[in-house]
């Protein structure tokens, strides 16, 4: 059975065909317009992203330049204000240390004449630690000290003899029980701590001696300068 289009006369067929082509063209134009709109929207989005990235880059560049300027300002402030202030503090510390050493000399002179001042907390603590160590090493009757000495003598004799293949005989006077060994280890630990404190005291004394020597050098230079001025005048 023929379709409705084929049953029409030829002129109407051409008109219908032209209308179909026109409709198809219109549809294609609509699709193209939609595609163009979508493309334009994507283009706007890409342009917006590029502008946003450019804005972020500009903002980061501004922040970096501000940070660089702040660092330069801090460097200038440190060189102009902070560093001289630190140097002035060091000079003040040196002056205070010299005054303290002069006071210590006066105190030592008074102690040599018979005047005594009470010990400081650190000195009293160190004195008590040394007394406890000496008491622990000697023991109530000096038995631990004697046993340790006998054990050391026996060990030296065995070492000088080259050792023996058989069992080693240790006299009863050289035997040390576990409790005594524990007490000895504790005493040695306290002695180590006391020696460390003495080391710190020696470091401070060495620094004080250096300050004294520098003070004497400055005084000698001042005296030489005064003599030269007197001779010149």
Question: Measuring CA to CA, which residue among 116, 127, 110, 102 is closest to residue 208?
Answer: 102
pTM equals 0.32
CA distances from 231 to 38, 89, 210, 217, 226 (A): 102, 36, 31, 21, 9
What is the residue extent of each domain of the chain? 4-78, 119-161+170-232
Question: Measuring CA to CA, which residue among 170, 173, 187 is closest to residue 143?
Answer: 173
Long-range own/partner contacts, residues 107-116 (CB < 8 A, 24 or more apart) = none
Q: In tens digits, what is the pLDDT along the chain, a chain of 233 residues?
A: 444 444 445 554 555 556 666 666 667 777 777 777 777 777 778 777 777 777 777 777 778 888 888 888 888 888 888 888 888 888 888 888 788 777 777 777 777 787 777 777 777 777 787 777 667 666 555 555 666 666 667 666 666 666 554 555 555 555 556 666 677 677 777 777 877 877 777 777 777 777 766 766 655 555 555 555 455 45
Q: Give the pair of three-digit tokens for residue 229.
A: 């001025």
CA distances from 53 to 7, 40, 45 (A): 65, 20, 12
Other beta carbons less than 10 A from residue 144's beta carbon? 21
Other beta carbons less than 10 A from residue 133's beta carbon? 19
Structure confidence at residue 138 (pLDDT): 62
Structure confidence at residue 112 (pLDDT): 77
Question: Measuring CA to CA, which residue among 56, 89, 121, 104 is closest to residue 205?
Answer: 104
Question: Measuring CA to CA, which residue among 202, 199, 213, 203 is closest to residue 98?
Answer: 213
Taking each continuous run of H as one helix and of E as one strand, the counts in the chain are: 6, 0
Structure confidence at residue 1 (pLDDT): 43
CA distance 58 to 64: 10
CB distance 150 to 171 below 8 Å: yes
Q: Which residue is associated with the tokens 């006077």? A: 173
- Residue 233, SS3? coil
Structure confidence at residue 2 (pLDDT): 44
Q: Which residue is associated with the tokens 């409709």? A: 23
Q: Which residue is associated with the tokens 């065995």? A: 158
Structure confidence at residue 230 (pLDDT): 54
CA distance 39 to 22: 25
């Amino acid at each position: 059975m023929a379709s409705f289009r084929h049953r029409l006369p030829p002129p109407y067929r051409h008109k219908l065909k032209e209308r179909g082509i026109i409709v198809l063209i219109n549809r294609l134009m609509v699709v193209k317009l939609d595609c163009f709109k979508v493309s334009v929207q994507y283009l706007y989005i890409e342009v917006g992203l590029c502008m946003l990235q450019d804005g972020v880059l500009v903002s980061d560049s501004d922040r970096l330049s501000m940070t660089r300027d702040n660092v330069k300002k801090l460097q200038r402030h440190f060189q102009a204000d902070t560093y001289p202030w630190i140097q002035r503090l060091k000079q003040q510390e040196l002056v205070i240390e010299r005054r303290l050493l002069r006071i210590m000399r006066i105190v030592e002179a008074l102690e040599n004449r018979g005047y005594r001042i009470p010990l400081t907390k650190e000195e009293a603590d160190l004195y008590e630690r040394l007394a406890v160590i000496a008491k622990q090493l000697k023991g109530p009757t000096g038995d631990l000290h004697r046993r340790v000495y006998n054990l050391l003598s026996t060990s030296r004799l065995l070492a000088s003899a080259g050792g023996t293949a058989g069992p080693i005989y240790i006299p009863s006077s050289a035997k040390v029980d576990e409790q005594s060994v524990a007490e000895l280890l504790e005493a040695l630990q306290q002695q180590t701590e006391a020696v460390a404190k003495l080391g710190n005291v020696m470091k401070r004394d060495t620094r004080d001696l250096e300050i004294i020597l520098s003070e004497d050098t400055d005084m000698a230079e001042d005296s030489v300068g005064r003599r030269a001025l007197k001779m010149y005048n």
